[in-house]
Amino acid sequence: MHAGRYAPSPSGDLHLGNLRTGMLAWLFARWSGREFLLRFEDLDAERTVEGAEAQQLEDLHAVGLTFDSQHGHSSIRQSERLSLYTRAIEQLTESGLTFECFCSRKDIREATRAPHATPGVYPGTCRNLSEAERAHRRAERPASLRLRADRDDDGAAPQVSAQDLLLGEITAGVDDFVLQRNDGAPAYNLAVVVDDHLTGVDQVVRADDLAASAPSQAYLRGLLYGTEAASEVVYAHVPLVLNADGRRLAKRDGAVTRSALREQGLKDEALREMLLDSLGLPAGTLAAALESFDPASLPREPWVFRPTDL
């Protein structure tokens, strides 16, 4: 199966940026003849809001998104797939591709400020600890699990590329990124790679602030499922929606959710058409917009939303 997906976190109402990205993910999937799946990324229990899934689904349906079922389920939840993530971590560990890390964020931040350190890159502090050193540190702090990336003789991270329909080639060094947090929860990069592969997702459409993670995810997918599985994924990182001050749109910006806009009198049809217009697509249904959809013609700049423009 070939599929695209939309994967919100059920942490509250979706805002216009979320809805616009979801709409684009639907358009890309249907344009390319793929199925379109819904996945709720609810691994962070502290951020999950009761009732948010149902509200998000209502909002997505209201602007025209439709989803395909898989194995009889209209959506999947990451919280119900923990055994799959555990199995993937075990596979990597058995291959010698993980190591325990006892560093706090402060430890890493201070280490990367040292002379000759590469800014933003994990410095390898715990990569080669002895068993005695690990035992000592376990008594002080629970360990996270990091990927043991294939560094060269000079310690440089491997350079990996991913192809993007809008951005072209995205190339970045793959760090020893976290696979499992020190509270035992699977990390984002691991969970999305496992979920995408096992549900047949080979098209990833999401906001362009996540573009930098594509090489790491492609690298991990190759380790878990083979280089062919990694190379078959098509990415499309789409521009963000910004507020009037040029910052990423957020719910704190006021009337930027469907429910808030409905309270101001904006009907669902007008909301959908406003989002379509921001993409240079004609008013009407998503099915009608699909007939005019061309990735090459999409705006490459962020859309600035001003509530006063309504």
Look at residue 52 and tell me whether its pLDDT is greater than 80.
yes
Is 135 part of any domain? yes
Q: What is the mean pLDDT of the chain?
A: 91
Q: What separation, in Å, do the N-terminal and C-terminal C-alpha atoms of the chain show?
A: 41
Is 215 part of any domain? no
We report the CATH number of the domain holding residue 141 as: 3.90.800.10
14: confidence class by pLDDT, cuts 50, 70, 90: very high
CA distances from 11 to 153, 206, 219 (A): 43, 17, 29
Same domain as 93, residue 176 = yes
Residue 252 vs residue 57, higher pLDDT: 57
Is 225 part of any domain? no
**Mean pLDDT along residues 3-10:** 96
Same domain as 148, residue 121 = yes
Same domain as 176, residue 89 = yes
Q: Is the separation of the CB atoms in 135 and 92 below 8 Å?
A: no
Is 210 part of any domain? no
How many CB atoms are closer than 10 A to CB 8? Answer: 22
226: confidence class by pLDDT, cuts 50, 70, 90: very high
**What pLDDT is recorded for position 68?**
94
Q: Containing domain of residue 271, as a range?
A: 3-79+239-309
Tokens of residue 247, six digits: 């910052």
Q: Name residues whose C-beta falls within 8 Å of residue 254's C-beta, 6 or more positions apart in sequence.
A: 260, 307
Same domain as 74, residue 89 = no
Which domain-ending residue is among 160, 180, 200? 180
d(CA 275, CA 132): 58
Tokens of residue 74, six digits: 């209209």
Looking at the structure of the chain, the number of domains it has is: 2
Of the ranges 113-127, 192-206, 269-283, which one carries the lowest mean pLDDT score? 113-127
Same domain as 10, residue 37 = yes
Which domain-ending residue is among 131, 158, 180? 180
Q: Where are the beta strands (DSSP E) in the chain?
A: 3-6, 35-40, 76-77, 98-101, 144-147, 159-164, 168-173, 178-180, 203-207, 234-238, 241-242, 303-304
Which domain-ending residue is among 156, 180, 204? 180
Is 233 part of any domain? no
Is 112 part of any domain? yes
Is 232 part of any domain? no
Same domain as 98, residue 72 = no
Same domain as 117, residue 58 = no
Same domain as 252, residue 305 = yes
Same domain as 89, residue 68 = no
**What pLDDT is recorded for position 263?**
92
Per-residue DSSP letters for 245-272?
A: TSSBP-GGGSS-BHHHHHHTT--HHHHH
**What pLDDT is recorded for position 74?**
79
d(CA 258, CA 270): 11
d(CA 5, CA 206): 9
We report the CATH number of the domain holding residue 298 as: 3.40.50.620
Is 227 part of any domain? no
